[in-house]
Amino acid sequence: MAEHPNKPALSDSDPSLQLGSIADRAVNGLAALGVVALVTAGVLGLSAHDHGRHFMFAYLVAFAWVLSIGLGALWWVTLQHLVNARWSIVVRRLGELLAANAPILALLALPLVIPTLLGNHELFPWVDHELMHSNHVLHKKAGYLNVGFFTVRMALYFGFWSWWSRHLLARSVSQDKNTATLGLLERVRGASAPGMIAMAFTITFAAIDLLMSLDPLWFSTIYGVYYFAGCVIAVHAVMVLFTLWFQSKGRLTAVTREHFHDLGKMLFAFTVFWAYIAFSQFMLIWYANIPEETGFFMERIHGNWLHVSYFLIVGHFVLPFFGLLSRHVKRHRVGLAFWSVWMLVVHYVDLHWLIMPNYQHEHASFGLLELTCWVGLASLLAAATLRRAKGKNLVPVGDARLSASMAFENV
Amino acid sequence: MSDSSGVSNQEPSLPSGDVPLFGVLAEYSTPQQLLAASRVVRDAGYTRWDTYTPFPVHGIDGAMGIRPTILPWIVLGAGLTGVAAGVALQWATNAFDYRWIVSGKPFWSIPANIPITFELMVLFSALTALVGMLVLNGLPHPSHPLDLKQRFLRVTDDKFFLVIQADDPSFKLEMARELLAGTSPVVVETVDEDRVTSDRLPRPLVLGLMLLVVAAAVPFGLAAKARASTSREPRFHVVPDMDFQPKMKADRANPLFDDQRATRAQVDGTVAAGELHENTAFWTGRVDGVLVTSFPEESPTSEAAVTRGRERFGVYCAPCHGLVGRGDGMVSKRAELLAEGTWTPPSDLQQDYIRTMPVGQLFETITNGVRTMPAYGPQIPAADRWNIVLYVRALQRSRATSSSDLPASQRDSLK
């Protein structure tokens, strides 16, 4: 096998390569569900007569959740190119398809960006001029936190993510037709180095702008990394679930137990990484005990937010740590599927915990508005991903290293 | 090797006919061939055999039928031991044997203990993984029959080997040769036992290791000696120019000046820029040496001033005096827990003599300190000190109020 690197490991006619019509019903159903859920959320939001406050907060949680999957995928694909990874080639197309949701995510950000542009300061308090200039510290931050610069930054982030993700997908797909294009991959690998640096900056600043600035007085230098940890967890869980679903339909059969094992290892590793980052943030703030920093945790240990905080320690770290520790779980389809779903749910709880204390103090709640926003955005992006997958190979058959990926085994 | 000591006295020589057989060796050019051959040998039912490769070959475990190692479980146990050791160490030192106030934190607090616990878990796990790997693999292994094979040297380069050992219960030389010949090897050869090299660790290595162990005990010995004896020798300085810096510290002697004071007083009749402080009521709490009894004009009473005072009180005063000034702050509480008898408790600000003090005296106390309370003048701007005085007055008022102080509407609700 290894002696013939240019021979395609999968033939173009392999029936497991393309989704075909199996996802058509799912695409239509998910798209319809997404539209209905988002319309319901919009109606619920408008009927609350709170200047869209509750709607925007609930929508932001759901948006941060779907955004984390897209960004996680884009980071992951960049990483695979950067380190010239072989094991992951059979699942790389799935990552490229998920990452290419970036332009759609830009559109779906509009319900948050447009009210902000129009001067609505229910979500981002820094939109309020009077507030910003009545407080000395906020006055100093006004040069960064203002509507004009915010809009420019959003355009930069989503513009870069859209271009980079489409670029990676287009290069990869063009290689499917032409197997003798090793140079193509090398150019992508070269571009991945600055691409990775750009990912680090855009994810960090997007997390600061979209999430941390909800409380414009508070700051934490590790905040971007915290959100990034959630992105990586989310994308691995989503890749596991999509692959399992495709395989139940007889597609993407090139992915073996060994690849699931590796996806599980990444899921486990970043669960630990998340806990490491979360605790690093907590301990420094706890130890220094400076009022301007402790405000963040004061909000989250009062009322029933305290219970959510405890739940995150147990549900986002302790349980998945021991649950995913064993290799047998990571190599077991049901075991890995369970923990993938679990991590996606606790990731939502984590984002809810980050965002919603700014909506209402002392009182954590999850209602119909939160649910419809979440279901709506998740369904729309799942539909978009499946629709994009149609007509494309689910595995980059033109990649010269594909046979090495298919034969991959953990020691 | 039961009688290796006797054998090692022999003259080094080529293995002769009476040296027992170690096994049969097959050489392969690619890992794929080795994997295929391993499956054949595994399925033939051999148990005493091994493969040798220049790098880890993915899938070799399955091809050889090796069961998963128990090392992960040992490492898990070591990691949990590290966790327990870290927690126990910190409990014994911080919460039990030598309790010490660190910035008002509890003696025993989980968040502060996590980094040490985490590091000990990693340390125990990593060392156990290394040592466990060596022990389970039977390493170090100073001699091995294959080491004498010239052909085998390329195992660290580009060749792959499989050896069926003669001590396998079902070993028969011709059958093993035949089996391996059918797996497309480069060559199949017999390997004799090593009767030439010693299977003992080299003596210098053993001596070196023993020396290290002894040397490692030296610091402990020195510490034990220091604990059990006294010394008149001056302290040993590792970095003298850091310990003795050419600079003057406040309140030290300086031979350059007649009065020997390192801290220079202001020249008589001068004032530093911006420090004229003509309004002594505001800056010192006194007018012509007499304590003022009302708030100075620069710091009028207002709701904003009380709010500011409460915030500053919470930052600077509450750690000792408590949030409502009863002398029950966290620092004081924990100091009393230590029960060392050296702690002067902070004053209860609700006492009558403090209640009736002129505001100027409260201001002066904050500015210059009293008894063991340090001076806060250098830390808190004067306006904030006055705000704190105002808040202390508000606290005192709240504890000694009569119903006639209340607005009529609230007074009615009490009836």
Please answer yes or no on whether A410 and B112 come within 8 Å at the CB atom: no
- Is B231's Cβ below 8 Å from some Cβ in A? no
* Rounded Cα distance, A231 and A80, in Å: 16
Query: Looking at this protein, which amino acid is placed at residue A243?
Result: T
Return the SS3 of A411: coil
Out of B58, B103, B114, closest to residue A279 by CB: B114
Query: What value does the mean pLDDT take over residues B270-297?
Result: 90
Q: Please check whether residue B271 touches A, CB under 8 A.
A: no
Q: Which residues of B377-414 are buried (b: 16+ CB within 10 A; e: fewer)?
A: beebebebbbbbbbbbbebbeeeeeeeeeeeeeeeeee
DSSP annotation of B274 reads: T
Q: What is the pLDDT of residue B10?
A: 41
CB atoms A291 and B62 under 8 Å: no
Q: What's the pLDDT at A1?
A: 37
B291 forms beta bridges with: B286
Tell me how close the Cα of A331 comes to any Cα of chain B, in angstroms: 14
Å between B76 CA and nearest CA of chain A:
10
Residues of A engaging B, defined by a Cβ cutoff of 8 Å: 1-2, 279, 282-283, 286-287, 289, 291, 325, 327, 408-411
* Alpha-carbon gap: B304 to the closest alpha carbon of chain A (Å): 14
The predicted pLDDT at position B200 comes to 83
Per-residue pLDDT for B3 more than 70? no
For residues B320 and A109, give the distance between their C-alpha atoms in angstroms, rounded to a whole number.
Answer: 50
pLDDT number for residue B387: 96
Q: What is the pTM of this model?
A: 0.77
Of A286, A291, A411, the CB nearest to B111: A286
* Partner A contacted by B99 (CB < 8 A): no
For B245-256, the pLDDT digits (tens) are 888 888 888 888
By three-state DSSP, how is residue B325 classified? Answer: coil
Choose among B384, B398, B395: nearest CA to B322.
Answer: B395
Tell me if residue A146 falls in helix, strand or coil.
Answer: coil
Q: From the candidates A1, A134, A287, A403, which should be mutated to test the interface with B, based on the most B CB atoms within 10 A?
A: A287
**Minimum CA–CA partner of A408 in chain B:** B58
Shortest Cα–Cα distance, A286 to chain B (Å): 8
pLDDT tens, residue by residue, B380-406: 999 999 999 999 999 998 888 877 777
Q: Which residues contact A209 (CB under 8 A, 6 or more apart)?
A: A150, A153, A154
Query: Using an 8 Å Cβ cutoff, are A341 and A315 in contact?
Result: no
Q: Are A208 and A150 in contact (CB under 8 A)?
A: no
Cβ distance of A409 and B59 shorter than 8 Å: yes
Query: A280-297 burial by CB neighbour count: b if 16+ within 10 A, else e?
Result: bbbeebbeeeeeebeebe
How far apart are the C-alpha atoms of B370 and A122, rounded to whole Å?
49
Contact state of B58 with A1 under an 8 Å Cβ cutoff: no
Chains A, B: CB pairs < 8 Å: 29
- Contact call for residues B321 and B347 (beta carbons, < 8 A): yes
Q: Which pLDDT tens digit goes with each residue over A267-300?
A: 999 999 999 999 999 999 998 888 889 999 999 9
- Provide CB contacts within 8 A for B284, sequence distance 6+: B277, B363, B364, B367
What dihedral do alpha carbons A44, A45, A47, A52 form, nearest 10°?
A: 180
pLDDT in tens, B84-115: 999 999 999 988 998 887 777 888 888 889 99
Distance from CA of B391 to the nearest CA of A (A): 19
CA pair distance A44, A368, nearest whole angstrom: 8
Q: Establish how many alpha carbons lie within 13 A of residue A112's alpha carbon, considering only the half-sphere containing its beta carbon.
A: 24
* Pairing state between β B286-287 and B187-192: unpaired
Chain B CA closest to residue A328: B68
> From CA B311, how far away is CA B293, in angstroms rounded?
23
Closest CA of chain B from A410, distance in Å: 6
Contacts of A409 in chain B (CB under 8 A): 58-59, 62
Distance CA A305, CA A364 (A): 6
Angstroms from A52 CA to nearest CA on chain B: 33
How much is the average pLDDT of B278-284?
Answer: 91
| CA angle, B26 then B28 then B29, to 5° | 160
Comparing A73-87, A203-217, B44-58, B135-149, which segment has the lowest mean pLDDT?
B135-149
**Residue whose token pair is 């001033």:** B305
* Calpha distance B346→B329 (Å, rounded): 9
Does the pLDDT of residue B30 top 80, yes or no? yes
Q: Do B58 and A411 touch (CB under 8 A)?
A: yes
Give the rounded distance of the alpha carbon of A5 from its chain centre.
34
On the CB side of B66, CA atoms within 13 Å amount to 15
Specify the pairing of strand B187-192 against strand B49-52: unpaired
Instruction: Decide if A283 and B114 are in contact by the 8 Å CB cutoff.
Output: yes
CB contacts of B56 in chain A (<8 Å) are 411
Residues 6+ apart with CB under 8 A from B264: B257
Better pLDDT: B230 or A207: A207
To test the contact with chain A by mutation, choose from B58, B66, B103 the residue with the greatest count of A C-beta atoms within 10 A, namely B58
> Measuring CA to CA, which residue among B25, B22, B62 is closest to residue B168?
B22
DSSP 8-state secondary structure symbol assigned to residue B315: I
Q: Are B384 and B363 in contact (CB under 8 A)?
A: no
When pLDDT is averaged across residues B142-155 and rounded to a whole number, the result is 90
Per-residue pLDDT, B341:
78
Q: Please, are residues B185 and B191 in contact by the beta-carbon 8 Å criterion?
A: no
Q: Please name the residue of chain A whose CA is at the shortest distance from the CA of residue B31.
A: A2
pLDDT in tens, chain A (411 residues): 343 444 456 776 777 888 888 888 899 999 999 999 999 999 999 999 899 999 999 999 999 999 999 999 999 999 999 999 999 999 999 999 999 999 999 999 999 999 999 999 999 999 999 999 999 999 999 999 999 999 999 999 999 999 999 999 998 998 888 766 667 778 899 999 999 999 999 999 999 999 999 999 999 999 999 999 999 999 999 999 999 999 999 999 999 999 999 999 999 999 999 999 999 999 999 988 888 899 999 999 999 999 999 999 999 999 999 999 998 999 999 999 999 999 999 999 999 999 999 999 888 999 999 999 999 999 999 999 999 998 899 998 888 888 888 888 887
Q: Give me the pLDDT at residue A407, please.
A: 84
